[in-house]
């Protein structure tokens, strides 16, 4: 993730709640955050994120959308470094349109994949991120 916001204004510590700073945010506040494309179109929300066990780095934000009452949702792991936080939208922005997202690597909530090296190569190459 880029440490800059995608807008001209940067938040200050006075603009944020007690469980975040201008540069850091608690994990429970990331989950549920809306994700938009560059045109401001809502793509879905972050359901959770995957953290490297050894590195402690966030590798993927798992975007969810679709379904009814939480059933039948599709899950799309997006490389974390492809997301930028937009303070005006109060959400994350990824440079992908909705049609291209529908073809991205995904899984249903009942059958999460093994996030191994082969899967990582597929996801990261789809988004143009080196492995």
Q: What was the pLDDT predicted at 51?
A: 92
The DSSP code sequence of 57-116 is -EEEEEEEE-SBTTBT-EEEEEEGGGEEEETTTTEEEES--HHHHHTSS-EETTSPPP--
Domain locations in the chain? 13-126
Confidence of residue 18 (pLDDT cuts 50, 70, 90): low
CATH number for the domain running over 13-126: 2.30.30.240
Q: What's the predicted TM-score (pTM) here?
A: 0.78
pLDDT at 38 over 90: yes
Residue 13, Cα to own-chain centre: how many angstroms?
23
What's the mean pLDDT when you consider all of the chain?
84
Residue 41: both structure tokens together: 């179109």
pLDDT at 4 over 60: no
Q: Which residues does residue 71 pair with via DSSP β-bridges, in sequence order? A: 68
Percent of the chain with pLDDT over 70: 81
């Amino acid at each position: 993730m880029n440490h800059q916001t995608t807008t001209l204004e940067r938040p200050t510590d006075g603009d944020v709640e007690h469980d975040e700073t201008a540069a850091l945010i608690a994990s429970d506040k990331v989950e549920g955050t809306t994700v938009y494309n560059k045109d401001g179109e809502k793509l879905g929300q972050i359901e959770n994120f995957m953290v490297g066990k050894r590195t402690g780095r966030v590798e993927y934000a798992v975007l969810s959308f679709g379904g009814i009452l939480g059933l039948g949702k599709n899950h799309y792991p997006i490389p974390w470094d492809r997301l930028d936080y937009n303070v005006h939208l109060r959400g994350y922005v990824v440079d992908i349109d909705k049609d291209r997202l529908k073809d991205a690597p995904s899984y249903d909530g009942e059958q999460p994949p093994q996030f191994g090296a082969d899967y990582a190569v597929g996801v990261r190459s789809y988004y143009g991120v080196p492995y």
